Amino acid sequence: MSEFGEIKKRLIERKETLAHLLNRVENSARRKLDKSFEEQAIQRENEEVLTSLDDSLNDEFEQIEKALYRMEKGEYGKCEECGKQISAKRLEVVLYANSCIKCAD
Ligand SMILES: [Zn+2]
Protein backbone atom coordinates (compact mmCIF):
# COMPACT_ATOMS: atom_id res chain seq x y z
CA MET A 1 0.00 0.00 0.00
CA SER A 2 1.40 3.39 -0.93
CA GLU A 3 1.57 6.30 1.44
CA PHE A 4 -1.53 7.64 -0.28
CA GLY A 5 -3.56 4.51 0.27
CA GLU A 6 -6.29 6.30 2.16
CA ILE A 7 -6.53 9.11 -0.38
CA LYS A 8 -6.55 6.64 -3.21
CA LYS A 9 -9.48 4.89 -1.62
CA ARG A 10 -11.35 8.17 -1.32
CA LEU A 11 -10.55 9.09 -4.91
CA ILE A 12 -11.89 5.80 -6.16
CA GLU A 13 -15.02 6.13 -4.06
CA ARG A 14 -15.59 9.64 -5.35
CA LYS A 15 -15.03 8.46 -8.89
CA GLU A 16 -17.68 5.79 -8.46
CA THR A 17 -20.12 8.31 -7.01
CA LEU A 18 -19.50 10.63 -9.93
CA ALA A 19 -19.95 7.86 -12.47
CA HIS A 20 -23.27 7.07 -10.84
CA LEU A 21 -24.38 10.73 -10.86
CA LEU A 22 -23.32 11.20 -14.47
CA ASN A 23 -25.35 8.18 -15.40
CA ARG A 24 -28.43 9.62 -13.72
CA VAL A 25 -27.99 13.02 -15.32
CA GLU A 26 -27.77 11.40 -18.72
CA ASN A 27 -30.85 9.32 -18.12
CA SER A 28 -32.97 12.23 -16.99
CA ALA A 29 -31.71 14.38 -19.85
CA ARG A 30 -32.97 11.75 -22.24
CA ARG A 31 -36.38 11.46 -20.63
CA LYS A 32 -39.08 13.11 -22.70
CA LEU A 33 -41.83 15.14 -21.11
CA ASP A 34 -45.35 15.42 -22.41
CA LYS A 35 -45.32 18.75 -23.84
CA SER A 36 -47.43 21.70 -23.29
CA PHE A 37 -45.62 24.86 -24.26
CA GLU A 38 -44.82 25.69 -20.64
CA GLU A 39 -43.57 22.23 -19.95
CA GLN A 40 -41.25 22.46 -22.87
CA ALA A 41 -39.89 25.73 -21.59
CA ILE A 42 -39.36 24.20 -18.17
CA GLN A 43 -37.74 21.20 -19.73
CA ARG A 44 -35.33 23.38 -21.65
CA GLU A 45 -34.37 25.16 -18.46
CA ASN A 46 -33.85 21.87 -16.72
CA GLU A 47 -31.70 20.68 -19.54
CA GLU A 48 -29.53 23.75 -19.23
CA VAL A 49 -29.10 23.13 -15.52
CA LEU A 50 -28.36 19.48 -16.17
CA THR A 51 -25.89 20.31 -18.89
CA SER A 52 -23.88 22.59 -16.65
CA LEU A 53 -24.10 20.07 -13.83
CA ASP A 54 -22.96 17.44 -16.28
CA ASP A 55 -19.99 19.60 -17.25
CA SER A 56 -18.85 20.14 -13.70
CA LEU A 57 -19.27 16.46 -12.84
CA ASN A 58 -17.32 15.52 -15.93
CA ASP A 59 -14.60 17.98 -14.99
CA GLU A 60 -14.27 16.51 -11.55
CA PHE A 61 -14.31 13.01 -12.97
CA GLU A 62 -11.40 13.87 -15.24
CA GLN A 63 -9.48 15.52 -12.42
CA ILE A 64 -9.86 12.39 -10.35
CA GLU A 65 -8.72 10.15 -13.17
CA LYS A 66 -5.66 12.33 -13.62
CA ALA A 67 -4.94 12.23 -9.91
CA LEU A 68 -5.13 8.44 -9.92
CA TYR A 69 -2.85 8.34 -12.93
CA ARG A 70 -0.34 10.61 -11.21
CA MET A 71 -0.52 8.33 -8.21
CA GLU A 72 0.39 5.37 -10.40
CA LYS A 73 3.40 7.25 -11.68
CA GLY A 74 4.42 8.35 -8.20
CA GLU A 75 3.79 12.00 -9.02
CA TYR A 76 0.76 12.49 -6.89
CA GLY A 77 1.07 15.28 -4.34
CA LYS A 78 3.65 17.22 -6.31
CA CYS A 79 2.87 20.62 -7.73
CA GLU A 80 2.84 20.53 -11.54
CA GLU A 81 3.94 24.15 -11.65
CA CYS A 82 6.86 24.34 -9.27
CA GLY A 83 7.47 20.68 -8.41
CA LYS A 84 7.16 21.21 -4.68
CA GLN A 85 5.21 18.97 -2.39
CA ILE A 86 1.59 20.01 -2.02
CA SER A 87 0.64 20.31 1.63
CA ALA A 88 -1.28 17.42 3.13
CA LYS A 89 -3.89 19.90 4.31
CA ARG A 90 -4.56 21.05 0.78
CA LEU A 91 -4.74 17.51 -0.54
CA GLU A 92 -7.13 16.71 2.25
CA VAL A 93 -9.51 19.39 0.95
CA VAL A 94 -8.87 19.01 -2.77
CA LEU A 95 -8.03 15.37 -3.27
CA TYR A 96 -7.04 15.87 -6.88
CA ALA A 97 -5.09 19.11 -6.44
CA ASN A 98 -2.30 19.25 -8.99
CA SER A 99 -0.73 22.50 -7.89
CA CYS A 100 0.35 23.89 -4.55
CA ILE A 101 -1.59 26.68 -2.94
CA LYS A 102 0.89 29.31 -4.13
CA CYS A 103 0.71 28.25 -7.76
CA ALA A 104 -3.06 27.84 -7.63
CA ASP A 105 -3.52 31.48 -6.57
ZN1 LIG B 1 3.62 25.15 -6.88
pLDDT digits (tens, 9 = 90+) for 23-56: 988 787 666 555 677 788 887 888 888 888 889 9
Q: How far is the CA of 23 from the centre of ligand 1 (A)?
A: 35
pTM above 0.85, yes or no: no
Q: How far is the CA of 47 from the centre of ligand 1 (A)?
A: 38
pLDDT higher than 80, residue 93: yes
Q: Which of 62, 88, 63 is nearest to 77 (CA)?
A: 88
Q: How far is the CA of 71 from the centre of ligand 1 (A)?
A: 17
pLDDT higher than 50, residue 1: no
Residue burial 47-68, b: 16+ Cβ < 10 Å; e: rest? eeebeeebeebeebbebbeebb
